[in-house]
């Protein structure tokens, strides 16, 4: 291909990557939620700092906009919440369980509709809003119990649900710019714990069968 076509293809790839990068997660003003939800895209600096991905996407979350490590005590409380076999039957009971956790702990993705204008065109699409366990009830009319049910639909078990900012590899949350970070996020979120490359290798084996060992040539 000519240099012009090559450059055009490269530009499209770069634009596609950056469009996906900056339009995957949003930040939310939840001061009037759930009746009104103010959403906006993250800035370049916020993406690089991990805001709204490695931190709670609620702009008014008491945990703040900077990444923070959970204390040992907070990690134990979070594990206890996820692993408890008891299912709360009332909103008050669930709120008491959540009140034991610090803000910013237990980050989960929730899909929300976002209507915005781009180059004079009105668009609506589903985007990801990442919230901590304490802020997630604000998103639902049914409060904390509805938030718990929504998480249960997204995760098959409690172990798969524990994908907060403490459990992700440091490389995948430090900087969202390099493609390597995106690949590591795919590996971290693989549903059965296997990497993406592991899945591809299994598919290849099923299609082509086990590779045969080459016989050594006799001289």
49-73 pLDDT, tens per residue?
999 999 999 999 999 998 889 999 9
Which tops the pLDDT comparison, 16 or 190?
Answer: 16
Which tops the pLDDT comparison, 17 or 31?
Answer: 31
Q: What's the confidence (pLDDT) of residue 175?
A: 34
What is the 3 state secondary structure string of 39-80?
EEECCHHHHHHCCCCCCCCECCCCCCCCCCCCCHHHHHHHHH
Q: What's the confidence (pLDDT) of residue 17?
A: 56
Structure tokens at 154: 């997204």
Are the C-beta atoms of residues 101 and 81 closer than 8 Å to each other? yes
Which tops the pLDDT comparison, 204 or 47?
Answer: 47
Which is nearest to 57 in space by CA: 36, 37, 79, 71? 37
CB neighbourhood size of 111 (10 A): 12
pLDDT of 176 strictly over 50: no
Q: What's the confidence (pLDDT) of residue 7?
A: 64
Q: What's the confidence (pLDDT) of residue 132?
A: 97
d(CA 151, CA 170): 24
Which tops the pLDDT comparison, 207 or 14?
Answer: 14
Strands, E assignment, the chain: 26-29, 38-41, 108-118, 121-131
- Quick: pLDDT tens for 68-110: 899 999 999 999 999 999 889 999 999 999 999 999 999 999 9
pLDDT of 128 strictly over 70: yes
Structure tokens at 27: 């930040």
Upstream peptide bond of 34 is cis (omega within 30 degrees of 0): yes
pLDDT of 32 strictly over 50: yes
CB neighbourhood size of 99 (10 A): 9
Which tops the pLDDT comparison, 137 or 172?
Answer: 137
Give the global pTM.
0.64
């Amino acid at each position: 291909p000519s240099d012009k076509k090559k450059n055009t293809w490269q530009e499209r790839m770069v634009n596609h990557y950056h469009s996906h990068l900056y339009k995957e997660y949003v930040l939310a003003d939840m001061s009037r939620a759930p009746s009104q939800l103010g959403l906006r895209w993250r800035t370049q600096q916020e993406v690089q700092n991990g805001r709204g991905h490695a931190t709670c996407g609620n702009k008014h979350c008491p945990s703040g906009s900077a990444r923070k490590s959970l204390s040992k005590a907070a990690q134990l409380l979070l594990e206890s919440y996820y692993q408890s076999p008891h299912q709360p039957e009332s909103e008050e009971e669930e709120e008491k369980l959540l009140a034991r956790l610090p803000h910013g702990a237990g980050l989960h993705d929730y899909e929300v509709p976002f209507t915005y204008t781009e180059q004079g065109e009105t668009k609506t699409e589903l985007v990801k809003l990442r919230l901590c366990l304490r802020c997630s009830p604000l998103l639902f009319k049914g409060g904390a119990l509805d938030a718990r049910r929504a998480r249960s639909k997204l995760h098959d078990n409690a172990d798969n649900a524990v994908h907060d900012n403490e459990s992700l590899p440091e490389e995948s949350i430090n900087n969202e710019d390099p493609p390597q970070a995106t690949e590591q996020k795919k590996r971290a979120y693989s549903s059965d714990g296997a990497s993406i490359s592991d899945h591809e290798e299994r598919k290849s084996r099923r299609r082509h069968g086990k590779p045969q060992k080459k016989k050594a040539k006799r001289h």
